Amino acid sequence: MTLRTDLTALLADAGLIDVDVDEAVADEHVRSSAYRRIISVAAASQNRDGDRAIVVTILRDPEELTSKGAVVAFVDEIAMKATDSAAFQQWAAELLPEIDRLKTEGHREFIRQRVRDCLFYLSIKEGQVPTSAELAGVTHWMQRLLADESTSLPVLTLLVEHGNTRKIRNVAKNRAGSRELRTN
C-alpha cells in the first residue's frame, strides 16, 4: 500500500471529503491533522471493530512522529469516552501489539505509558484511590490532568503530598481547598 492509497481509504471510511489528499501526502502537518479528524470520527462511533485496522494503516506512515501522535490521540479519545477501565484495557490490548511496527523504542514506550496513564485515570473515575507508589508510576501529564480535573478529595490530597512537581502539588492544594469541591 502507498501513503496516498492508505490516506484516501481512511478519509473515505471516515466520510471526510474536504481533505486535499495531495497536500496531505506532501505535508506531514496536514496529514497529522487529517489523522486526528479520522480518529475523532472513529472514536465517536460505538463500534470499535475497525480501530485496529485504522491504527495499522496510520502506523505505515513514513513519518513515525506523525503516526505516534495520531495513535496517542486515538488512545486519549477512546479513554476519555470509555465507560469503564476493563473495556478500555481490552481495546488497548488488541492494539498494543501493532505498535511494534514503530522503529523507535521511545515511541513504542510512550504509547504504552499513555495506555497505563489512561487506565490509572479510568480507575480513579471508577472510585479507586491510588497509593503513592501507584501515583509515582504515572507521568507528570497524568498527574497534572488529575490535579486539574479530579473531584476526589482523597486523590487531590495524595497529589498535594506526592505530586511530582510543585505545580501539580499547588494546583491540587488549591482545588482541594476550593469551596466548590467541598460542596459537591
Q: Is the dihedral of CA 8, 10, 11, 13 positive or negative?
A: positive
- The 10s digit of each residue's pLDDT in 42-78 is 999 999 999 999 999 999 999 999 999 999 999 999 9
The pLDDT value recorded for residue 32 is: 97
Q: By percentage, how much of the chain surpasses pLDDT 70?
A: 97
Distance between CA atoms of residues 142 and 102, nearest Å: 23
Cα-flanking dihedrals φ and ψ of residue 106, to 5°?
-60, -35
For the entire predicted model, the pTM comes to 0.91
Q: Whole-number mean pLDDT of the chain?
A: 94
The pLDDT value recorded for residue 180 is: 63
Has residue 184 got a pLDDT over 60?
A: no
97: DSSP letter: G
- The 10s digit of each residue's pLDDT in 87-117 is 999 999 999 999 999 999 999 999 999 999 9
